[in-house]
Amino acid sequence: QVQLVESGGGLVQAGGSLRLSCAGSRRTFSNYVMDWFRQAPGKEREFVASVNWNGGSTYYADSVKGRFTISRDNAKNTVYLQMNILKPEDTAVYYCAAGLRFGSSTPTDFGFWGQGTQVTVSS
């Protein structure tokens, strides 16, 4: 069992930045691929970014490529999502998830989820 806790969400103006963090509970955190997903009201949960077990490979949704950066620090059992040049359409609840399939954009490939953190971007 891996428990995940997100933090760092909030309200920001368009063009601004936020950094989300996701802290994992187990020392085996480094065994897992870590993804970020997001879900806006009335929409399905969508893939945002993925990082492999050692942080050496990353993968992004086209909608955030060049603006968002995913990274991880296995010594701290933490994965990050740096979000720059935020847009109103980035408004959503952001979730981190742990799984075994790098590059997957399918939520059902991920067995462990955090509770989510709200990101609101005002225009």
- pLDDT tens profile 40-51: 999 999 999 999
- Per-residue pLDDT of 72-111, as tens digits, reads 999 999 999 999 999 999 999 999 999 999 988 999 999 9
Structure tokens at 108: 């059902």
Q: What is the DSSP string of 72-100?
A: EEGGGTEEEEEE-S--GGG-EEEEEEEES
H or E element at residue 39: strand 33-39
Q: CA–CA distance from 8 to each of 27, 43, 46, 105 (Å)?
A: 22, 22, 19, 23
pLDDT for 114 beyond 80: yes
**26: three-class secondary structure by DSSP:** coil
pLDDT at 27: 74
